[in-house]
Amino acid sequence: MKDNRKVITWLLIGCTLIFVMVVVGGITRLTHSGLSMSNYRLISGTIPPMNQIEWKEAFDLYKQYPEYQKLNYNMTLEEFKDIYFWEWIHRVIGRFIGIVFIVPFLYFLIRKQLSKPTIRKCIVLLFLGGFQGFLGWYMVKSGLIDRPDVSHYRLAMHLTTAFLTFAFTLWVALDLIYPKRKQIEKGFRNFIRFGLVILLLQIIWGAFVAGLDAGWIHNNWPLMSDGKLIHETVTMEQSPVWKNFVEGKSGVQFVHRYLAYIVVAFIIAIWYKAKKKATTALQKKGVNWLLGLVIVQFVLGVFTLILQVPVWLGVLHQVMAFFLLAAMTFTLHRFSK
């Protein structure tokens, strides 16, 4: 006989670990620590340097790559240890998540605690986890060749896949927690789905902002009034106009700013439409949380920009995006068939 409580606990622990992973990843990015571990070792890389000789070897390896040669050539060994710590703990958590997903999955599979639909969903989860690890390596590799930073496209893929893995894990858990649902007409369900798509686009452009360090310019609100938008458009005039909005710092920040207004408007519309329908207590709770979280997230985004992205506020802004995605996933699940 299947005991879904254990499976649900396992999935929710996985959600929590992915959340921790995203938080540490945000700190890693904001402290520019991501390229401190220049080689990838799946097993031996779990153990950090244990003595001065090993630290010197790790630092000498770091010196061979563009980030040290072009940006951090004055860095001391002690400063290197600080950035190494965040990338190391980020990778260790990633490996731990892999173990937490694979070992219990095999246990539940052998004990026949998983239904066929749940098995299929868990296989997708395992694929997403493995793909996320590959994208992490693929992202770091882009900063080890001729540029002292990772590709913002690869960073966006890495971060977005983490968010999607979390959302899908939560969805599978919700399938087991709430096997019965009160259906709402298809039109409203699709409206929420479209809201989710817009939120994911906003997360992608948030990753572009982080990857291009675009939060350190135009530190005004509500207008981008420091003149740098004009300057950067001129410097990219030989490129197609659309590239300003995916590769230019000003253009990327512009899209992220105005997508924020669209996300807020869409969630307000979801909340307003839901108020007119005969909804369950959980459905009401979902849309209310959505409304509250998007307001908090918008305010955090404004202050993150105005204060020029202090690490703690940048991380908090990313954490709130995580919570907002969780609320959107929960709400969509409550209104799905």
Q: Give 13-40 pLDDT, tens digit per residue.
A: 999 999 999 999 889 888 888 888 877 6
At 206-253, the pLDDT tens digits run: 999 998 989 988 888 888 876 554 445 445 456 678 888 999 899 999
d(CA 294, CA 14): 24
Share of the chain above pLDDT 90, in %: 54
pLDDT at residue 186, rounded to an integer: 80
At position 86, the amino acid (one-letter code) is W
The 3-state DSSP composition of the chain as helix, strand, coil percent (nearest 5) reads 75, 0, 25
Residue 297 belongs to domain spanning? 183-337
Q: Where are the beta strands (DSSP E) in the chain?
A: none
d(CA 173, CA 179): 10
Residue partners of 84: CB distance under 8 A and separation at least 6: 33, 36, 37, 48, 49, 58
Domain count, the chain: 2
At 100-143, the pLDDT tens digits run: 999 999 999 998 899 899 999 999 999 999 898 888 888 888 88
My answer on whether 150 and 261 are in the same domain is no
pLDDT at residue 227, rounded to an integer: 52
My answer on whether 165 and 223 are in the same domain is no
At 50-66, the pLDDT tens digits run: 899 999 998 999 998 88
pLDDT at residue 133, rounded to an integer: 87
- Considering only residues 294 and 50, tell me which one the structure prediction assigns the higher pLDDT: 294
My answer on whether 91 and 197 are in the same domain is no
My answer on whether 175 and 188 are in the same domain is no
72 token code pair:
């951090």
Residue that finishes a domain, picked among 143, 163, 179: 179
Res. 1: pLDDT tops 50: no
My answer on whether 167 and 216 are in the same domain is no
pLDDT at residue 205, rounded to an integer: 95
Residue that finishes a domain, picked among 179, 212, 237: 179
My answer on whether 313 and 264 are in the same domain is yes
My answer on whether 2 and 137 are in the same domain is yes
Res. 160: pLDDT tops 90: yes
Average of per-residue pLDDT across 70-96: 90
Distances (CA, A) of 74 to 38, 56, 70, 79, 132: 18, 15, 10, 10, 33
At position 120, the amino acid (one-letter code) is R
Residue that finishes a domain, picked among 151, 179, 207: 179
Distances (CA, A) of 236 to 194, 241, 242, 250: 32, 8, 10, 11
pTM, full prediction: 0.89
At 184-203, the pLDDT tens digits run: 678 888 999 999 999 999 99
My answer on whether 151 and 204 are in the same domain is no
119 token code pair:
């098995």
At 326-336, the pLDDT tens digits run: 999 999 999 88
